[in-house]
Structure 1
Amino acid sequence: MDLGGGMWQRLIAVVLVMTVAAGCTGQGEGSGGGNDEDLLRNHDWTQMPGTSARDDILRVSALDRRIVEQDSSGGQPNPPLNLAGPHLRSDGDFTVTARMSGVGDDGGDSWLRLYGRVPVIYDEWRQERPSLRVGVTADGQVKVQIWDGKSDGPAISKDFDCGCSGTVTLAVSSIGDTFHVKADGRRLGTVHDPGVFAEGTVWFGLEADAGEDERREGWSLTQLLARAESGDSLRVIEAPQLRQEQSDDSLRARAADVGRPFDVGTALAENPLLTDSRYRALAGSQFSMLTPENAFKPQFLHPRPGVYDFGDADLVVRFARANGMKVHAHTLVWHEALPNWMRENDGPQEVRRTMLQHITMVAGHFKGKVAEWDVVNEPMSDDEKSYTNGDLGLRSDQSPWFEAMGEEYIDEAFRAAHRADPKARLFLNEYGIEEEGERWDALYDLVKRLKKRGVPIDGVGFQNHEYTAGDRTDPETFRSHVQDLAELGVQARVSEMDVPIREDEEDGRQTQADEMAGKLRVCLEEPNCTSFSTWGFTDRYGSTADTKIYPPRMADSLPWDAALRPKPAYERLLEAFDEA
């Protein structure tokens, strides 16, 4: 067979068979080139969000996870995948067989998704990469959707009449550049394949849409098999070991020699943590503390009323414990990263009840597993009027918590967190307070009021996002604020530092290095400063990437570049420790 002017190309055949029909064999259609590998039994699916396992059957529930914009608009779907479970690597054609039950007859859609490349979750934004999604819709159709990695929506979507419900057998074969779709052995049609599995890897995701019935129970996966075809090689790859080798020449080794408890940390994302070995190695060897970049935010782990899913968050905690790292948990109460239902509560008492129940459940789940909490994140206003109209500088217009309870929501949040996790240190986290001005003054006055009322606040996080040249603050100004907090008996930390460099900026990386090292040096010299953390550590996954284009343009903001090579900032941070 001549492909492309005589150039042989690898053929990838994927057959997805979803079946619960009596008498179905569950075998994919192929040439029978290999034995079936059971991907469901004797493999770890316990960390798959939205599922529960019993007797080798996975029950898939509707999570409806979505990522909203910072202004609370939009709602980009954020379906889960099994990062800590098996995935495939194939040198050629292969077959995947899946058996499902309870599909298409309860008002919702049921989906199996195969990812050629795992998506990247930035700070409140998801970059889709090539994947195939196939399922049975509520009206009994078979739908195939294909993402090509060039936008956050499917590039190809095609419906096939099927009349499927309850018991369904689906088959999708990818041969060359075409997917062939079958249902219960019947040919439904074809869909163009833009090269979803060109890299020879397959990751698995399971989804249940709630539809109009919020009480939908979901569906069950009872079989998942893989088989190589035509003599091609196929391997089942387990999740990697979380424990990473340590080095004496690292940031965390330097922090251990400070002479008092002090941690150096970073924000981490779970997707690259499990899929990028170099990212994982640096994360586990360089830092003594991690902040979950997204996994602890309400829209990720509390997507629907009464529905909590800690799968991704637990995974991050497992990584920390495997590598002797502390967890600074982020965040319990914020006006952003909220699922839409949290903004739709009926009246102040319902808002208060929602907030307290969320804190109690989440902080209680991680009791004893995390060292610190960002209890309240970014309570200060960006509106100058808030500093003169009696709001005392607190954010009011976008915060459902302030609108319902006023300043008292902060007191209640800290007290609830302390009840749920009494040994954890509790922080208030804010940006722009490194600088002099009304924002810092109002924050300082707020902390004084909280201390006077006996609120159990232990510290304040200075985010230190230096997005523009005007955000760059003299370290001595930052020092004076840390010392002011010390007089109140309050700790301080650098919580989210990054320093984006403009393309036209001369000596930008040197400036970046100076800014980071200067703030670290202050922390090392002030006894009440307990840690220094950057918001991510490599530009490969940095949240300051330009997400107005697709795929996003990477920024130059962090101590390691997109190729995971250390920059001058990393060397200067090491020097700051040595000087201390």
Structure 2
Amino acid sequence: MPNVFRARLALFVSGLCLLAGGAACDPSGDRDTRPTASGTAPASGRVDLLAGDWSHLPGGTVGSGGVRIHGLGRQIVEQDGTGGQPHPPVNLRGPQLTVHGDFQVSATLHRPAGQIASLYLYGEVPIVYDEWLQNRRGLRVTVSDRDLKLTVWDGRSAAPVADRTAPITSPATITVTFERHGGVLMLSTGDTRVSVPDPGVFDAGSVTFGVDAVPGAPDWTLAALDADGVAVRDTPLAGQSSQSPDSLRVLADTTGRRLPIGAAMAAEPLISDDGYRTLAATQFSMLTTENALKPQFVHPGPDTYDFTEGDLLADFAAANDMRVHAHTLVFGEANPRWMQQVALADRERVMTEHIRTVAGHYRGRVAEWDVVNEPLSPDDDGPDGRPGLREHLWQEAMGESYIDKAFIAARAADPEAKLYLNEFGAEADGPRWDALYDLVVRLQERGVPIDGVGFQSHIHEAGDHVDPAVLRSHIADLAELGLSARISEIDVYGESPSVQAGQFAGVLGACLSEPTCTSFSIWGITDRYGSTAEHDSYPLETGDELPWDQQLRPKPAVAALRDTLRAARR
């Protein structure tokens, strides 16, 4: 019998076996652990992947019949509130596969009529870059009433490189089998098959799973998921058990201030990138939730909350003895489309319910909140030449009182957390600082429970800089009002390595010199995942604003920060 025909026959028989429940093909009654049709011996035999952790899957509920999948309709809007880029759920804390050579994954789906079931196999986990999702290498298996579809991305474009469809008559319960075999990606069920050349989807040697469903349609169930030719590895949450005496967090902890040193962090690279995770755990004592708790990520539907990525960050912080600064409850940007369309009369209720639910969920797990982010207009467009309030859905409905209501709701939801107002461009003297200071005074006069102000300290242009002396004076001005300050989001344009290093060190020194500056946090760790990456760029065009470069190598800024912390010990 020709080898090609033998392989196809074996794959067809394998599909029949799976439809029959799998055990019928093995006279011992156990699941088949023989080599797959590709001839590759499995790394661990046939592995039951539903035995792993599916309890943290966004939209997933684990039950006796498998994992029920509920469509969340997660989307990422542009910064101006337009668009709606799909953001399918990824099971970051679930089973992750190590693969080398050929392998096979089979899934049994129970799918009600009218629902579209999607199962993703990611060779590289998609990454969110400041409200933009970069599609990296991966594929999607889609089953509908009439179609079986295989869609493949090679990571070089937002568009798929292959999209193959075969007609099927789909029963309520169907088993589909995916196989990488001899340079081809194949998808089959029974005698129906689609295949495409493999563009190297899994060349990184790993597989992470995701799922999706149509919101509003009946839930579908992932009843079985197993694999051949793979090894399963645990999801890492803890970092290094020991700390280098030269790490930022150790040096900061040995200063008289014991200043928390933090960074904005994202769930996806914490799980998928060992080097990023190691830097996060060893260099920092505070974690800021970069995107996971912005409204559009945590509250994708009117009655739908998704805490999975925020919980992962909070658990990572707890496992590594880090404080959590949560970002952000109320913002004029990063709001889901449904929230933008809420009637004026309902916006106060929606805002306060959002705060009560999200801050209440993390009560006792976070140390601080950015309650209101960037309340001032980005332009000096007020009647007195100062920036007025930023115009957005909350300000439109409630005027300045939306800030009062937000802080009051946050205090009620978590009385122990410190509550911050966070703003950019207030480090320098001028109309922006004056407007922010006056706003804070008005809030205090009205009894608003504000604890402090975050200075973002972004430096995004050549020639721009922060004067440490002026920054210190602003922190001192807030201290006279009884308020704390923090450096909340610093990143520095890479005008030159020495200039960048000097700016990081100067701002850290200013914070260390003022006893009411409570923490110093960088807006990211490495340029590999920095928020200033060029939007929708393939290949990725990263920024150069962060202390570690794309290869996770320290820049001179890291040495400058270390020297500043060492000087503070003397």
Query: TM-score, structure 1 length as denominator?
Result: 0.89
Distance change in 2, residues 1:87/1:440 (3 Å): same
Q: Give 2:212's aligned residue.
A: 207
Give the letter for the 1:127 counterpart.
Answer: Q
**TM superposition shift of 1:20:** 13
**Which of 366, 383, 387 is the aligned partner of 2:362?**
366
Per-residue deviation, residues 219-244 of structure 1 (Å, max 9, x unmatched): 1112111112xxxxx31111124142
Q: SS where residue 44 of structure 1 aligns?
A: coil
**Which of 280, 283, 286 is the aligned partner of 1:286?**
283
Per-residue deviation, residues 147-205 of structure 1 (Å, max 9, x unmatched): 1101223222222211214222223333234333322x122433333221222211111
Distance change in 2, residues 1:570/1:14 (3 Å): farther
**Which of 389, 393, 408 is the aligned partner of 2:388?**
393
**Which of 288, 304, 317 is the aligned partner of 2:301?**
304
Task: Report 1:154-553 matches (<5 A).
Answer: 154-183=160-189, 185-210=190-215, 214=216, 216-228=217-229, 234-245=230-241, 246-260=243-257, 262-347=259-344, 349-388=345-384, 393-396=388-391, 399-502=392-495, 508-553=496-541
Q: SS where residue 158 of structure 2 aligns?
A: coil
**Which of 110, 121, 125 is the aligned partner of 2:117?**
110
Q: Give 2:7's aligned residue.
A: none
**Distance in 1 between residues matched to 2:11 and 2:561, nearest whole Å:** 48
**Which of 563, 576, 579 is the aligned partner of 2:551?**
563
**Distance in 2 between residues matched to 1:153 and 1:335, nearest whole Å:** 30
Give the letter for the 1:186 counterpart.
Answer: D
Q: Give 1:45's aligned residue.
A: 54
Q: Give 1:231's aligned residue.
A: none
Q: State whether residues 237 and 271 of structure 2, in contact with CA within 8 Å, keep that contact through their aligned partners in structure 1.
A: no
**TM superposition shift of 1:261:** 5.0
**TM superposition shift of 1:115:** 0.5
**Distance in 1 between residues matched to 2:188 and 2:482, nearest whole Å:** 68
Give the letter for the 1:540 counterpart.
Answer: R
**Distance in 1 between residues matched to 2:11 and 2:235, nearest whole Å:** 22
Q: State whether residues 20 and 169 of structure 1, in contact with CA within 8 Å, keep that contact through their aligned partners in structure 2.
A: no
Q: Give 1:143's aligned residue.
A: 149
Q: Give 1:505's aligned residue.
A: none
Give the letter for the 1:191 counterpart.
Answer: V
Task: Report 1:68-83 matches (<5 A).
Answer: 68-83=77-92
**Distance in 1 between residues matched to 2:273 and 2:160, nearest whole Å:** 25
Distance change in 2, residues 1:147/1:425 (3 Å): same
Q: State whether residues 143 and 159 of structure 1, in contact with CA within 8 Å, keep that contact through their aligned partners in structure 2.
A: yes
**Higher mean C-alpha deviation, range 242-251 or range 376-385:** 242-251
**TM superposition shift of 1:102:** 2.3
- TM-align CA RMSD: 2.3
Q: Unpaired segments of 5 or more residues in structure 2?
A: 1-9, 24-30
Per-residue deviation, residues 251-272 of structure 1 (Å, max 9, x unmatched): 1112212323521100011111
**TM superposition shift of 1:294:** 0.8
Query: TM-score, structure 2 length as denominator?
Result: 0.91
Q: Give 1:7's aligned residue.
A: none
Q: How many residues align?
A: 544
Q: SS where residue 381 of structure 2 aligns?
A: helix
**TM superposition shift of 1:379:** 0.7
- Percent identity between matched residues is 49
Q: SS where residue 443 of structure 2 aligns?
A: helix
Distance change in 2, residues 1:527/1:576 (3 Å): same
**Distance in 2 between residues matched to 1:378 and 1:18, nearest whole Å:** 56
**Higher mean C-alpha deviation, range 196-205 or range 469-478:** 469-478
Distance change in 2, residues 1:516/1:14 (3 Å): farther
Q: SS where residue 421 of structure 2 aligns?
A: strand
**TM superposition shift of 1:405:** 0.4
Q: State whether residues 379 and 394 of structure 1, in contact with CA within 8 Å, keep that contact through their aligned partners in structure 2.
A: yes
**Higher mean C-alpha deviation, range 146-155 or range 410-419:** 146-155
**Which of 84, 90, 96 is the aligned partner of 1:87?**
96
Per-residue deviation, residues 535-560 of structure 1 (Å, max 9, x unmatched): 01111111112235312212221111
**Distance in 1 between residues matched to 2:70 and 2:414, nearest whole Å:** 29
**TM superposition shift of 1:39:** 1.0
Give the letter for the 1:193 counterpart.
Answer: D
Per-residue deviation, residues 451-503 of structure 1 (Å, max 9, x unmatched): 1111000010000110013531211111111111111111101100001224x
Q: SS where residue 196 of structure 1 aligns?
A: coil
**Higher mean C-alpha deviation, range 360-369 or range 380-389:** 380-389
Q: SS where residue 477 of structure 1 aligns?
A: helix
Distance change in 2, residues 1:516/1:19 (3 Å): farther
Per-residue deviation, residues 500-523 of structure 1 (Å, max 9, x unmatched): 224xxxxx1110011111111111
Distance change in 2, residues 1:151/1:437 (3 Å): same
**Higher mean C-alpha deviation, range 289-298 or range 46-55:** 46-55
Per-residue deviation, residues 72-124 of structure 1 (Å, max 9, x unmatched): 12111111211112111122221111111124x1x332111000111121111
**TM superposition shift of 1:385:** 2.5
Q: State whether residues 19 and 99 of structure 1, in contact with CA within 8 Å, keep that contact through their aligned partners in structure 2.
A: no
**Higher mean C-alpha deviation, range 429-438 or range 242-251:** 242-251
Distance change in 2, residues 1:227/1:21 (3 Å): closer
**Distance in 2 between residues matched to 1:136 and 1:143, nearest whole Å:** 7
Q: Unpaired segments of 5 or more residues in structure 1?
A: 1-12, 229-233, 503-507
**TM superposition shift of 1:64:** 1.3
- The answer to whether residue 130 in structure 2 is matched with residue 123 in structure 1 is yes
Q: SS where residue 91 of structure 2 aligns?
A: coil
Q: State whether residues 378 and 431 of structure 1, in contact with CA within 8 Å, keep that contact through their aligned partners in structure 2.
A: yes
**Distance in 1 between residues matched to 2:532 and 2:387, nearest whole Å:** 30
Q: State whether residues 178 and 188 of structure 2, in contact with CA within 8 Å, keep that contact through their aligned partners in structure 1.
A: yes
**Distance in 2 between residues matched to 1:18 and 1:294, nearest whole Å:** 41
Q: SS where residue 382 of structure 2 aligns?
A: helix
Distance change in 2, residues 1:536/1:142 (3 Å): same
Give the letter for the 2:363 counterpart.
Answer: K
Q: SS where residue 46 of structure 1 aligns?
A: coil
Per-residue deviation, residues 385-418 of structure 1 (Å, max 9, x unmatched): 23549x971111xx10000000000000000000
**Distance in 2 between residues matched to 1:418 and 1:317, nearest whole Å:** 20
Q: State whether residues 106 and 178 of structure 2, in contact with CA within 8 Å, keep that contact through their aligned partners in structure 1.
A: no
Give the letter for the 1:435 counterpart.
Answer: A
Give the letter for the 2:75 counterpart.
Answer: R
Distance change in 2, residues 1:36/1:523 (3 Å): same
Give the letter for the 1:89 counterpart.
Answer: T
**TM superposition shift of 1:56:** 6.3
